Amino acid sequence: METLMNMIGRGAQRRRSRAPRPSGADREKAIVSTLRALLDHKNIYDISIGDLVQAAGITRQGFYFYFASKEAALVSLFGQVLDEVVEDYKARIDQLESDDPVVVWRNSIGVPLATILRNRNVFLAANQMREASPEIRRVWDGMIEYWVDRAARRIRAEQQRGAAPSDISPEELAMSLNLMNERATLAVCANSGPRHDASELTEALLRVWIRSIYLTTRPVFFSECPPA
């Protein structure tokens, strides 16, 4: 299965190329896992290389063999989490299809959102560093582009079957809605907005999506107006 990070392009900055070795892979995985654990307790800017090497049980030289910087380790971790988001979505979405467009959109929003909120500290760290880090910003933008493309294709299909008005660009609408999701999700992750769990936030976002796409709260079922 092709992962999101395969599509975006692997972004971790490595000091050198090397043939993969099991022991080396274990050390690299330990560094990334350690960073994930530390983010549960610390802001990314408060985590030092010293913290990482001590908690991972490796030397500084060992760390720099795999990653050129703390930022590079975060890129690797963020990429892993993005792959988890897509894998969870692809694993479940076929089981969650429905004749009701509202149910389909709910699943399309809610399944990825639940995975994101389970990894909220990683997303917050990436968000904190993306302005200063071109590599993290590239991966983040690739994530947004992936979900915008999926939404735009579904919106276009709804327009083509006559269920949604066609006087707006699917790409522009998909971009606006996904940027809204991004802002709301980050606010919940940071606890800077109303406290919602994944299902509550999904329902709040879903209302805006449905009204924006269909100009109604009750779009016609697929069986009532099938694709041409």
Q: The domain spanning residue 32 has which CATH number? A: 1.10.10.60
Residue 156 belongs to domain spanning: 72-214
| Among candidate residues 68, 84, 107, the one where a domain is terminated | 68
pTM listed for this prediction? 0.85
Residues 79, 183 share a domain? yes
Residues 61, 138 share a domain? no
Distance CA 19, CA 74 (A): 22
Evaluate whether residue 219 is within a structural domain: no
Residues 199, 91 share a domain? yes
* Residue 68, phi then psi, degrees to nearest 5: -75, -20
Evaluate whether residue 200 is within a structural domain: yes
Burial label, 105 (beta-carbon count in 10 A; 0-12, 13-18, 19+): buried
Evaluate whether residue 76 is within a structural domain: yes
pLDDT tens-place values along the chain, 228 residues long: 556 666 666 544 444 444 444 356 888 999 999 999 999 999 999 999 999 999 999 999 999 999 999 999 999 999 999 999 999 998 887 777 899 999 999 999 999 999 999 999 999 999 999 999 999 999 999 999 999 999 999 999 999 999 999 999 999 999 999 999 999 999 999 885 556 678 999 999 999 999 999 999 999 999 998 776
Distance CA 156, CA 213 (A): 10
Residues 51, 21 share a domain? yes
Amino acid at 220: V
Residues 110, 143 share a domain? yes
